[in-house]
Amino acid sequence: MTMTATPLNTAETKLALPGHQGLKLEEKLLFDQSREGSYGVDLPTLKGTTSRTGQPVRETVGLPEVSEPQVVRHFVRLSQMNYSIDGGLFPLGSCTMKHNPRLNEKLARLPGFAALHPMQPDSTTQGALELVHTLENWLAELCGLPGITLAPAAGAHGELTGMLVIKKAIEARNETRPIVLVSDSAHGTNPATARTCGFDIVSVPSGDDGLVDYDAFAELVDKHGKDIAAFMVTNPNTCGRFEKDVTRIADKLHSVGAYFYCDGANFNAIVGKVRPGDLGVDVMQFNLHKTFSTPHGGGGPGCGPVGVTEELKKFLPIPKVQKDGDTFKLVTDCPHSIGRIKAFHGHFGMMVRALAYMMSHGADGLQRVAEDAVLNANYMLHHLKGTFNVPFKGYCMHECLLTDKHLKDKHVSTLDIAKGLIEYGYHPMTVYFPLVVSGAMLIEPTETESKQSLDEFINTMKHLAHLAETKGEDTFKQFPLSTPRRRLDEVKAARQPILKWEKPE
C-alpha cells in the first residue's frame, strides 16, 4: 500500500494539534538499551563466592546495564507515552475523564491524611472519621438515599456491594428470587455483577429511542413476577439519554417486591439536579473517580460508594463510622451486614479528594457541573450531527452518540476514525459501545473542557470525515501513520501476547 495519507499539519489540514504527541515516541526496553559496563550505582566488590543466605553467587542475573541518566530518561519518556487528561482532551464516553483540580491533590497529601495508619486507634483519627462521616452525608443528600458506604474500591465493586446488599435483603425476607433484569445498553459490569452474585440475567431491550422499552420491561415483570430480585438500569444511560420512564419502572418493580438498582456511574450529568432516591431507586453506586474528579484511569484506585434506602441500611458493609455526640467511632458489630468488602476502610485518599471537590464547588457549583457537562456534550452533538450519523433524535445528556453509518459506503468505519484521532494527537472516543448501536462512537467531552478545546476536537472530527469522503479507505486504513506502532493485529495481540523479554540468540 502506498503512503497517501495526509500528513499532519499541512496547509491542507490547517489543524492545530491540540492533543499531545506522547504516543509518537519510540522507546526501547531497558534490556535493549543495555551496554556492557554501564552502571548507575557503585556497589562494593563482592567477597567470597556465597551470598549472605549461603547461596552460591551467580555470575550474572541478567539485569540491564544502564546508567542513572538512562534510567531516569527511560521512565520519563515512558510517562510521556501515556495519553492523559493532563495532556489533552480525553473524549472517552462513559468514562468521564475530566480535569482533577490540583487543590484536591494538595489536600489529599496533607500529612494528617496521607500519613495515617489504618490501625490507629479511633481517638487519634477523629479528623479522618469526621471526613468520612461528612462525605457520607453529602452523598446521601445528593442521591436522596439515607444509607451510604464508602468502602467499595470502584464502580464495579460498588455494583457488587449493592447487589450483595439486595441479595441479603431478599434472604432476610426468606425469599428466593433468582432473576436480575439488566437493560441491554448496560455497561458489561452490570450483568457480570449480577451473575457473580449468583443471579440469572434476563435482558430488557431498548426501544428505538435508546431508552428502556417500558412495555417490554413490564411484560417481563408480569412474566417473572416474584422471581425478580432487581432491575439494574444506568441513568443517564450509556446512550447518553435520561430514562424518562424511571418512576414508572420503579413502581412496577416495587409492585412485585423487587428492588431498583441504579448504576450511577453517569451521575455527573445530574448531580445537584435530580436525586435518584426521589425517583424510586433503592440502591445506587457512585463512581467518585468520575463525578467528583478523583483521578481515574490506568487501573489506579477509585472509589465506588453505594447509597441505599432506610430499609437496606442495616445490610451495608462494615466498618461503619458512627457519630456519638462530638466524637466518631468505627463500628463493626452489625449482625445484618454483608461483612467486609475491602481491607480497612476503602480508598481514603479518594474520599479526601472527592470531599475537597464537593466543598470547593458548593451546592450551586455541583449543579453547574451537571449543566456544563450536558451543555458541552450538546455543543459537540450540534456541531457534529451534520457530519456523522446520530442514532437518536433530540438532546443528549453528558455524552453524545454518533455512528459510522454515513461513512460505510466509503468503507471507513468507527475503528478507522478512532485510529485517525490517534494520528491527530487525541485519545480515541469510546468505540462500539453501547452494543445496542452499530458502529457507536461515544464522546464525553466533560464540563472541564473550554469552548476552544471543544472546537479543536470538532474540527479534527470534521477533518477526518472530510478525508473519508475525499480519500476514502486507502488513507484511513493506514492511520495512525506517525506512531511507533501502526495498526496492530488485535486478535493476535490478544491471543498470543508477548509479555516477556527474551535475550536475542
Ligand X SMILES: Cc1ncc(COP(=O)(O)O)c(C=O)c1O
Q: Which residues bind ligand X (CB under 6 A)?
A: 94-95, 154-156, 187, 189, 234, 238, 263, 265-266, 287, 302, 304
Separation of alpha carbons 476 and 242, rounded Å: 34
Q: Kindly tell me which of 433 and 479 has the beta carbon lying closer to ligand X.
A: 433
- Cell of residue 261, nine digits: 438498582
* Strand runs labelled E in 43-157: 147-149
Cβ atoms < 10 Å from Cβ of 164? 21
Separation of alpha carbons 105 and 487, rounded Å: 37
Separation of alpha carbons 285 and 102, rounded Å: 25
**Which residue minimizes CB distance to ligand X?**
155
Angle at 252 between CA 251 and CA 253, to 5 degrees: 90
Distances from the Cα of 398 to the Cαs of 93, 134, 337, 419, 460, in angstroms?
9, 27, 35, 24, 20
H or E segment to which residue 327 belongs:
strand 327-331
Q: Kindly tell me which of 369 and 412 has the beta carbon lying closer to ligand X.
A: 369
| Closest separation in Å from C-beta 304 to ligand X | 6
| Closest separation in Å from C-beta 305 to ligand X | 11
Amino acid of residue 229:
A
- Cell of residue 214, nine digits: 417500558
| Closest separation in Å from C-beta 225 to ligand X | 27
| Closest separation in Å from C-beta 502 to ligand X | 34
Distances from the Cα of 253 to the Cαs of 326, 342, 352, in angstroms?
41, 30, 36
Separation of alpha carbons 245 and 207, rounded Å: 12
| Closest separation in Å from C-beta 129 to ligand X | 25
Q: Kindly tell me which of 224 and 241 has the beta carbon lying closer to ligand X.
A: 241
Cβ atoms < 10 Å from Cβ of 324? 8
Q: Kindly tell me which of 187 and 252 has the beta carbon lying closer to ligand X.
A: 187
- Cell of residue 201, nine digits: 440475567
Q: Kindly tell me which of 128 and 262 has the beta carbon lying closer to ligand X.
A: 262
Contact 190, 263 (CB under 8 A): yes
Q: Kindly tell me which of 15 and 436 has the beta carbon lying closer to ligand X.
A: 436
Separation of alpha carbons 242 and 262, rounded Å: 12
| Closest separation in Å from C-beta 193 to ligand X | 9
Q: Kindly tell me which of 242 and 476 has the beta carbon lying closer to ligand X.
A: 242
| Closest separation in Å from C-beta 268 to ligand X | 11
| Closest separation in Å from C-beta 283 to ligand X | 14
* Strand runs labelled E in 190-316: 200-204, 228-234, 259-264, 283-286, 306-308
- φ and ψ of 423, to 5 deg: -60, -35
Separation of alpha carbons 185 and 365, rounded Å: 30
Cβ atoms < 10 Å from Cβ of 417? 25
Q: Kindly tell me which of 19 and 155 has the beta carbon lying closer to ligand X.
A: 155
Task: Map grid coordinates 457520607 to a residue.
Answer: 136
Q: Kindly tell me which of 7 and 300 has the beta carbon lying closer to ligand X.
A: 300
Angle at 261 between CA 258 and CA 262, to 5 degrees: 150
Q: Kindly tell me which of 302 and 307 has the beta carbon lying closer to ligand X.
A: 302
Q: Kindly tell me which of 437 and 464 has the beta carbon lying closer to ligand X.
A: 437
| Closest separation in Å from C-beta 195 to ligand X | 15
| Closest separation in Å from C-beta 200 to ligand X | 20
Q: Kindly tell me which of 234 and 413 has the beta carbon lying closer to ligand X.
A: 234
Q: Kindly tell me which of 155 and 319 has the beta carbon lying closer to ligand X.
A: 155
**Burial (CB count within 10 angstroms: exposed 0-12, middle 13-18, buried 19+), residue 393:** exposed
H or E segment to which residue 193 belongs:
helix 189-196
Contact 128, 348 (CB under 8 A): yes
| Closest separation in Å from C-beta 485 to ligand X | 25
Separation of alpha carbons 3 and 471, rounded Å: 12
Helix (H, G, I), strand (E, B) or coil at 430: strand
Separation of alpha carbons 372 and 217, rounded Å: 32
| Closest separation in Å from C-beta 139 to ligand X | 16
| Closest separation in Å from C-beta 296 to ligand X | 8
From the centroid of its chain, how far is CA 391?
Answer: 24
